[in-house]
Amino acid sequence: MTEAGPHSSGTVRRAVIWSYVLTGGNFAVTGVVTFVMAAFVPPAEFGVMALALVWVTFAQMLMQHGPAQAVIQREDVTDRHFDAAFWSTLGLATVFAGLLAAIAPLWALWNGTPRLAYVCWALAPVIVLNALAVLPDAILRRRMDMKRISLRVLTVASISGVLGVGAAVAGLGVWAYAVQQITMSALTVAVVWTVTEWRPRRGGIGPALRDLRRFSLHSLSEVTAFFVSSRIDALVMGAFFGPAAIGLYRFAVRIVEMVNSVAAGGIGQVSLADLSRLTDDRAAFGRRLGQFLHAAALIMYPALGVLAATAGPLLRLVGEEWEPAAGALRVLCATGAITMIGSILTPAVQAAGRPGVGAVIGWVEAAAAATSIVAVGLWMRDAPVPTQVLAIAWTVFAVQGTMTLVYAWVALYRVLRLKARTVLLPSLPPFAAGLTALGTGLLVESLLPGDTHVVLGLLLTGCAAVATVVILLLALDPRLRRLATSLLRRA
């Protein structure tokens, strides 16, 4: 069987809609689960799990951006390419899981947390389970069959979330997160193979693997660089700060990542497969990329503005022990607003067959981030925990923000040969709306009496910020205004 050819506009539209159903629903489920579990699990326990998940996350990135990513990007693929991608991914995952089990004691020693080794050993099988699901998932994404993916992910997230919350309420601490992760991976494997007709065959994968090798190696280099630069905080912080500081910081990062998964993630589910079919039509490629970026900005910039405005009361509602992360959460929202551009441009550069560009810039960013965070760690080793968390957040903002702007310039002008104003200008109204929402929310919070109940404060601050977003978007964004007018006429 051979798969090729461009996707129709209707297919892309349906894929985008179902992609946002997936990311929006997943955001709702994981958001509720994350906050509820945090109410029962203290920051130090969350920090231990964050340190253990560093390597599980890295393995998942490698699985998704190696041969499986090449299968999505390549114009013509056969079942032998699928076989090659599956067996090579599974083999790499098995080796990685063994390495994690071997280095777990050293990782625990580096972070000064002996029980971290036991958590790593419990999560090692998750790497292999995740690998079993990568290729069937990639086939569905290549076909833009986002409906099946959405229903599967939301079902799995709901069941594993309920079990995780139950374990947290029962007082299992860090093991509640382990229960959630293991259940999610096992259910994903069970479900994904029921919605995919393809089955792997053994033997004769050498030629097909060579077809995928060049793109896979560049993609793996890029994702490794991204991992190091985006997770260098967790890799290094344990040597200088305690689990509480790591837990507070990673919890703030987790919240911003959930927003990013809805905005950029929703587009990222379909953009690589779609843009890969438009590389011969530069004008159409540029228009589609601008549409993708605008759609992501419409969600992410207002959401980040509202999130930053409500950071204080939101974290107080979760628990007083989480409030020291409020300042870092606001800074990370600003970081997310900038790095979202890179999240959308990355699949565009990959679609153009140039993943090596992102790898080079990613490694420069990783080196800069490592140097900066080590310096901050040495400087802030004895500082109060809130100061440590805020210092790391500002460091990440400076490094990732600067390198994202460099990457955007290289991607647009040197690789894609597109005009920045054509791609970026439509996203200015959502950016302005998000920034104004932040200012409005902070103003309302400053005017509230000190004894205002946390729920009332959150509602008043959030409603003011959301109202600002709606008014400004309708006033400044012509694309959204035309869509709203069209919907009203149909109603």
Token pair for residue 395?
């460091």
User: Residue 16's pLDDT is what?
Assistant: 57
5: confidence class by pLDDT, cuts 50, 70, 90: very low
Q: How does pLDDT run across 280-301, given as a tens digit for each residue?
A: 777 888 888 888 888 888 888 9
- What is the pLDDT of the chain when averaged over all its residues? 82
427: confidence class by pLDDT, cuts 50, 70, 90: confident
| % the chain with pLDDT above 70 | 81
pLDDT average, residue stretch 351-356:
72
For residue 425, pLDDT beyond 50: yes
User: Residue 15's pLDDT is what?
Assistant: 56
Q: Which of 17-26, 175-184, 466-475 has the lowest mean pLDDT?
A: 17-26
348: confidence class by pLDDT, cuts 50, 70, 90: confident
- 165-173: list long-range contacts, CB under 8 Å, 24+ apart: 165/33, 165/36, 165/37, 168/36, 168/37, 168/40, 168/41, 169/40, 171/40, 173/41, 173/42, 173/45
pTM of this prediction? Answer: 0.74
Q: How does pLDDT run across 103-150, given as a tens digit for each residue?
A: 999 999 988 888 999 999 999 999 999 888 888 877 777 666 566 666
User: Residue 11's pLDDT is what?
Assistant: 54
Closest CA to 52 of 264, 250, 310, 258: 250
User: Residue 283's pLDDT is what?
Assistant: 80
Where is mean pLDDT largest: 1-15, 29-43, 199-213, 331-345? 331-345
Query: How far from chain centre, in Å, is Cα 437?
Result: 23
Cβ neighbours of residue 244 closer than 8 Å, sequence gap 6 or more: 42, 43, 44, 47, 385
SS3 486: helix
SS3 172: coil
How far is residue 234's CA from residue 283's CA, in Å, rounded to a whole number? 41
For residue 483, pLDDT beyond 50: yes
User: Residue 299's pLDDT is what?
Assistant: 85
- Domain residue spans of the chain: 2-490
User: Residue 2's pLDDT is what?
Assistant: 47
pLDDT average, residue stretch 4-22:
54
Query: Contact at 8 Å (CB) between 424 and 338?
Result: no
How far is residue 52's CA from residue 105's CA, in Å, rounded to a whole number? 11
End-to-end CA distance of the chain: 44
Angle between helices 206-237 and 79-110 (to 10 degrees): 20
Closest CA to 248 of 328, 335, 325, 331: 325
For residue 309, pLDDT beyond 90: yes
Q: How does pLDDT run across 47-85, given as a tens digit for each residue?
A: 888 888 888 888 887 777 767 666 666 666 677 777 777
In our burial notation (b when 16+ CB lie closer than 10 A, e otherwise), range 136-154 reads: bbbbbbbbbbbbbbbbbbb
For residue 371, pLDDT beyond 80: yes
How far is residue 491's CA from residue 475's CA, in Å, rounded to a whole number? 21
For residue 224, pLDDT beyond 80: no
What count of residues does the chain have?
491
Q: Which of 183-197, 266-280, 461-475 has the lowest mean pLDDT?
A: 266-280
7: confidence class by pLDDT, cuts 50, 70, 90: very low
For residue 411, pLDDT beyond 70: yes
pLDDT average, residue stretch 373-400:
90
Q: How does pLDDT run across 229-273, given as a tens digit for each residue?
A: 677 777 777 778 888 888 899 899 988 888 887 666 666 666 766
| % the chain with pLDDT above 90 | 25
8: confidence class by pLDDT, cuts 50, 70, 90: very low
For residue 439, pLDDT beyond 60: yes
Closest CA to 277 of 65, 15, 74, 1: 74
How far is residue 425's CA from residue 489's CA, in Å, rounded to a whole number? 28
For 85, what's the count of Cα atoms within 13 Å in the CB-facing half-sphere? Answer: 34
Token pair for residue 456?
């009332």
Query: What's the alpha-carbon Rg for the chain, to the nearest Å?
Result: 22
Pairing of the two strands 2-3 and 77-78? antiparallel
How far is residue 43's CA from residue 51's CA, in Å, rounded to a whole number? 12
How far is residue 224's CA from residue 218's CA, in Å, rounded to a whole number? 10
User: Residue 95's pLDDT is what?
Assistant: 92
How far is residue 303's CA from residue 299's CA, in Å, rounded to a whole number? 6
